[in-house]
Structure 1
């Protein structure tokens, strides 16, 4: 059985593309019912259309309180048969109206190693701070921005004085790996949350052999 999901985007949709490609390779057990964007010119909509995936555009500017916007998103997604949501570059903070419609089934990708550098420019903030390691986080979504329990994180080196775009690209490559992995774990119901800790059931790797130095944790499984 494939998990019926929605993917929410605001921009280019490269993380959406990574999910689609894993679906095409029969690695991901999900079915994208709709790709929804709050911006009509988001290139990710064209990516979806190229694969025959239904799309929807809902501008937050047409609504008053955030709750009204979220309620309309819920209506669209529920009508499409969606059971879980992937936020892949969706630049909106969601409210309990949306969270309560998909409890424990909303995943986000953030381009920083949370809890460091939350917000709209995690990569740029990390570069300006002068970190030696940057990275990305796939996490469950809660009512706070970039705050929910961490599913998987990847780290990449950051070099003094390098162009921020170089660091962004290095991080993005890892986003394209860990987000599909997190989505697959969600689809197979292998994730459980205890407090702030996410536990992975039936891992297909020998964690004892990773020596604790892996730059991606939990380690990626076959195909990712």
Structure 2
């Protein structure tokens, strides 16, 4: 598929671009995950790509084009994809609460997990296991949607890795992503983010994008009440609290 341009694309192109972002993001998460977490990621990925109209991502991109669609479309596409990932969270949990059998023409996540548990000869009641286990990929969708939307941690770490000394790079590789990270180890990671200048560079990136957002707001034909609200929103989302 050709990359999206500033000309309004076919909605099928938007759908394919969203799917590509989701596939790449989940594949990256899977590569760095532990075996048990990989199975959760696989379950979530299978659910996402089993169907769905991608209405929310399409509406997000249409909103960007309606606002003149200037600048790099990649962050907007990530935001659009994060909406689809977020949407998966209540769908999976809703099926658990309703004990539904079918979603998008196939077995619901908890039914699939129950059958998998039963096929492996797992202990206990397989249906109960499926209902309880399906909460996890739903929670994973919620957590990862925020990460995909913000991208801040990804940018922060990418800059730190690019600017780190060999010793700092070894420390990052050894500690980042560990679920059992101690406070002392977290302090060591934060020290590297400061020493490399990565944190400061991300703050500068936020400031530049904040200024571009205000400039774009000033070009819009929206009523003053709407532009004032957008300005407040820009300040609220970019202000640093800690």
For the aligned pair, the TM-score class normalised by the smaller chain equals under 0.3
Higher strand fraction (1 or 2): 1
Between structure 1 and structure 2, the one with the greater Rg is 2
